[in-house]
Amino acid sequence: MKRMQNVRGSLYPSNKVWHVLALLVVLSVYLFPKDGYAQETTDTMCSASCEPECNGSCEIPLKLYELDEVILIAPNKEIGYQKQSKPLSSIDEYLESSEHVKMIKRGAYAWEPTLNSMASERLSITIDGMRIFGACTDKMDPITSYVDVSNLSEISVESGQEGNEHGNCVGGAIDMKLDTSPFKEDYLKVSLDEGFESNNEQKITGVDVNFAEESFYLDGDVIYRKANNYTDGNGEEVLYSRYEKFNLSVNGGLNLNDEGKVTASFIFDQANDVGYPALPMDVSLARAFIGAIGYEQYNVGIVKNWKSKIYANSITHIMDDSQRPDVPIRMDMPGWSDTFGFYSQAELEHSRHSFLVKVDSYYNRSLAEMTMYPNDSNQADMFMLTWPDVRTWNTGIFVQDAIALEKGNMSLSTRISYHRNWIVDEFGLNSLRIFYPEMEASQHRFLASFGSNYDRTINHFKLAVGVSYGTRAPSVSEGFGFYLFNSSDNHDYIGNPDLKNEQAYEMKARISFQKKSFTASLQGSYFYMPNYIIGEIDESIGTMTIGAEGVKLYRNLDYASIANVSVQSEYLLSKNWTWKGSISYHRGVDDTNRNLPFISPIAYGSSVQFKKNRIFGEVAMDGAGEQVNVSEVFGEDKTEAYTVFSLSIGKTFTVSKNQLYAKAGVENIFDTYYSTYTDWNNIPRMGRNVFVTLSYKII
Amino acid sequence: MKIFKTIILIVLTLLITACSEDEENTQIEENPVADLILVEQIEANNHTIELYSEQDNFYVGYNEISLRVKDNTADDYFSNVSITWMPIMHMTSMSHSCPKSDIETTQNETVSKGFMIFQMPGNSEEYWELTLNYEIEGVAYEASKIVEVVQKPDGMKNCISFVAADDSRYVLAWVAPKVPEVKVNDFIVALYKMENMITFSKVEDYTIMIDPRMPGMGNHSSPNNEHLTFDSASEMYAGKLSLTMSGYWKINMKLLDAENSVLKGEDVTDTNPESSLYLEIEF
């Protein structure tokens, strides 16, 4: 399996020669493969580079069907964060370094993940299988912002309907797996992490304590980050890009005589004074309480594993503009999102079949308000409900059958869900009835999806193909949002309760080649999406937000289509040196051939890694071509091509039997000014940044 | 058995509750002004004429008034009293009346109802005098009193008196919604033409175009409003007023006559933030 690439860094001063050179570097990997020194890697989650540190303890469950990608953060705490070029980087940076995930950035914090060129509402994003929904109407709090690397062991990224195990989605799923200790006698690990970054003076402090016996485990970790405004490549301070975050998590487990286990987990996450340079408002508070209790039993009759979990989470998100000196009008925009849910799943095996049957359900409450304070203090405050206390209840069943065939593997899966939305607040319902006089307070729909995958190995080649169909319900904003301002296309958005389910017919194929030192894979996916949901301008409606250009209503397009193609390769140059390269191309158009927004131009990355004994170093480059297919209707303008470079080096020391891992690096080596297609309103990215990380593990 | 008992208990409880509600209803019928506020009493002819309103005062603008006449001797209210009224504003230089409805007996025969639209408040030198003429058992009586009319404390313009392009003076007043909400409200205004100092006549076949705006927030408008047209049942102008948020709204208006020529008011544009004809609300 592919793992993340460490591609951070800078753009050498706007020079096209560099782009060409960079492309050549990547291409050379394909053009001149060379048999090398490494052992043949096996097709498991632990690929070659992971082996030396794993020492056999890298027990990540292997599934028959093909996971698209697993981003390792700290599996079983054995290898720590060493694989990441910047060990204490944020979750956002971990995800950004993945092959398939792109992050939409509204500032330095809380980036929004996209997968297969699709964002939050088209994905299922879960924490250990738990559904959780952001409380911000303007997507300032993707749920990835409510965890930290200290909480997680890995992030699995599943493309398209391979992700429907966790919930209805069309684009795929991102599941963040919590890190827990094994049941092991006299197991005690304490690690202290300290990080510093020069550009925004970010300080990171973390403590992680893991304690276990054969009968139980108890883990706790805290991490604190504080960053000031960062500086772009021109040396200009990017105002309102600071943030402060505190995260605490506690995990516990009881071993039930090796027949099962009871687990409990709790995460508290709070961010304060988070700036959003791309938006007109900042966030004074984003707070999450996330808790779950799980029960797992092994070998119950024919059931190999039976796992259940109940969970609850509560998010409070408060937008404010008190730090902005110059706004047309002061406003407060608090939002709340509470979710309760459960799932129960059983794994069965019967000859060549491995079944997974899962029932799940969640209930969510989303409420958001907006209070505007007129400049004339004699006038009354203005108030509206932007999310009218929308309740969502979704319950579904998922069945998967993974079949080991004579030649190859086959996986079939289906999910059927009942999805109900209803509006509780009369004020909010009446508000929406301004646009939809006949609107009912309650609505329901059925969602169905089906996925199929087949893979087969022929000599050095491995072929995987999949055909799938998926549907999703509109998100709360798409269905029931009321004057939500989008600063990217400068329009107010109104939800549409009459939206049909969005559908996706998906085809994908991957061919990978693996021979001794050289691995390469070519993969492509194509989504034909009837009833694609997007906001369309309605000229008849006046704007609400001061300065907005117009109002958009969410509509179902006849269809849209999205295609993604990427090539990755890894080449073991010698025993100690590895060269990686990747190129991807994405295209998204609607039924009238208009470009969809936030679709990546040609992007490429390449890195050389050195590993010897306990030293790990890397030089990485990544970049993108000029954005050719610009979606002007949806607020985009052309993003210039860029190439950026970074380097890092780390070493593990043994200090009185304990491990000290030190790592330092430079991102954006050439301190270049650049911005990518994912940067909301073209906010510039960080200039040169030097980071130092120290991780001390007491074993 | 237990379930059976429980059901009986529930049914009984429901019956009792239902009965008591009935009783309440009859009580309301017995006291038809229970929900109203006594704003004025006029003593004359050994009668007390009580004037009730939903509001605690006579205010500038539309006032819905319920009246009843008490026989002070019998301490009882007369039924089916036919009443007419004449409010007069005594200004320093002249006197004039205001738009008003006929007074009609309600379902409860002791109570009569009508409305007056005061276009200005009284002050230290100028005052409103209300004269009532009524007839009980064939005998005509008259009573009058100076009444206090004040501006609403919120200071919102809910009534406007203006001279239009046809050189006539009109009075336009907010009638409903009494309590506006964030929704599409049923919007009713009363429009009267001043024929002379005393007579105000209803105007039909006109159109009142509306453009609600929030001056406190970039002067934005709201969608799906409906212009007001004459509703023959209520004899007022009715349309739809959509309010997308709470706060201060200026309802800009344009008055068109039967031929659709503009009598008063202008379009709101980027350069012209308000019409010369408007009403205001704040909620």
Could you please report the per-residue DSSP string of A170-182? SSEEEEEEEP---
- Whether A381 and chain B come into contact, CB under 8 Å, resolves to yes
Residues A56/A664, Cβ–Cβ less than 8 Å: no
CA dist A389 and B252 (Å) reads 32
Lowest mean pLDDT among A3-12, A281-290, A563-572, B187-196: A3-12
pLDDT at A267: 97
CA dist A509 and A501 (Å) reads 26
Give the 3-state secondary structure of residue A681. Answer: helix
Supply the mean pLDDT for chain B.
90
Examine the pLDDT at B24 and tell me if it is beyond 50: no
To the nearest 5 percent, what fractions of chain A are helix, strand and coil? Answer: 10, 55, 35
Written as one letter, the residue type at B13 is T
CA dist B200 and B168 (Å) reads 11
Interface residues of B toward A, Cβ cutoff 8 Å, are 181-184, 214-218, 220-224, 242, 244-248, 282-283
Lowest mean pLDDT among A53-67, A613-627, B172-186: A53-67
Q: Classify domain A15-698 at the CATH superfamily level.
A: TonB-dependent receptor, beta-barrel domain (2.40.170.20)
Residues A72/A83, Cβ–Cβ less than 8 Å: yes
At A546-560, the pLDDT tens digits run 889 999 999 999 999
**Mean per-residue pLDDT, A101-127:** 93
At A124-166, the pLDDT tens digits run 999 999 999 999 999 999 999 999 988 888 889 998 898 899 9
Per-residue confidence band for A417, with pLDDT thresholds at 50, 70 and 90: very high
Residues A271/A242, Cβ–Cβ less than 8 Å: no
CA dist A140 and A274 (Å) reads 10
Residues A401/A411, Cβ–Cβ less than 8 Å: yes
At A287-314, the pLDDT tens digits run 999 999 999 999 988 899 999 999 999 9
| Shortest alpha-carbon distance between residue B258 and chain A (Å) | 26
Per-residue confidence band for A100, with pLDDT thresholds at 50, 70 and 90: confident
Q: What would the two tokens of residue A21 be?
A: 């050179």
Point out the residue among A329, A430, A435 whose CB comes nearest to the CB of B217.
A329
Residues A262/A292, Cβ–Cβ less than 8 Å: no
- Whether A304 and chain B come into contact, CB under 8 Å, resolves to no
Give the 3-state secondary structure of residue B4. Answer: helix
pLDDT at B4: 56
Point out the residue among A328, A427, A434 whose CB comes nearest to the CB of B223.
A434
Is residue B275 classed exposed, middle or buried when 0-12, 13-18 and 19+ CB atoms within 10 A define those classes? Answer: buried
Examine the pLDDT at A281 and tell me if it is beyond 80: yes
pLDDT at B3: 58
Neighbours of A532 (CB within 10 A): 24
Examine the pLDDT at A643 and tell me if it is beyond 50: yes
Closest CA to A510 of A496, A500, A502, A520: A520
pLDDT at A68: 62
Examine the pLDDT at A52 and tell me if it is beyond 80: no
**Mean per-residue pLDDT, A321-343:** 94
- Work out the percent of chain A whose per-residue pLDDT is above 90: 72
Residues A98/A6, Cβ–Cβ less than 8 Å: no
pTM of the model: 0.85
Written as one letter, the residue type at A527 is F
User: DSSP letter at A591?
Assistant: T
In degrees and rounded to multiples of 5, residue A8 shows phi and psi of -125, 165
pLDDT at A421: 97
Bond prior to A684 in cis (omega within 30° of 0): no
pLDDT at A346: 96
At A197-235, the pLDDT tens digits run 999 999 999 999 999 999 999 999 999 999 999 999 999
Count of A–B CB contacts within 8 Å?
86
Lowest mean pLDDT among A43-47, A125-129, A394-398, B222-226: A43-47
Per-residue confidence band for A36, with pLDDT thresholds at 50, 70 and 90: very low
What are residue A173's DSSP bridge partners?
A124, A158
> Pairing between strand A123-127 and A172-178?
parallel
Examine the pLDDT at A279 and tell me if it is beyond 50: yes
CA dist A276 and A105 (Å) reads 9
Examine the pLDDT at B282 and tell me if it is beyond 80: yes
- Whether A431 and chain B come into contact, CB under 8 Å, resolves to yes
3-state secondary structure A516-571: CCEEEEEEEEEEEEECCEEEEECCCCCCCCCCCCEEEEEEECCEEEEEEEEEEEEE
pLDDT at A289: 98
CA dist B278 and B264 (Å) reads 10
The CA-CA-CA angle for residues A108, A602, A122, to 5°, reads 60
Residues 6+ apart with CB under 8 A from A558: A530, A531, A591
Residues 6+ apart with CB under 8 A from A529: A170, A502, A503, A504, A505, A559, A560, A561, A562
Examine the pLDDT at A37 and tell me if it is beyond 50: no
CA A87: distance to chain centroid?
17
pLDDT at A77: 41
Contact list, A483 vs chain B (CB under 8 Å):
244
Contact list, B224 vs chain A (CB under 8 Å):
434-435, 437
At B171-227, the pLDDT tens digits run 999 999 999 999 999 999 999 999 999 999 999 999 999 999 999 999 999 999 999
Q: What would the two tokens of residue B211 be?
A: 């453009």
pLDDT at A65: 34
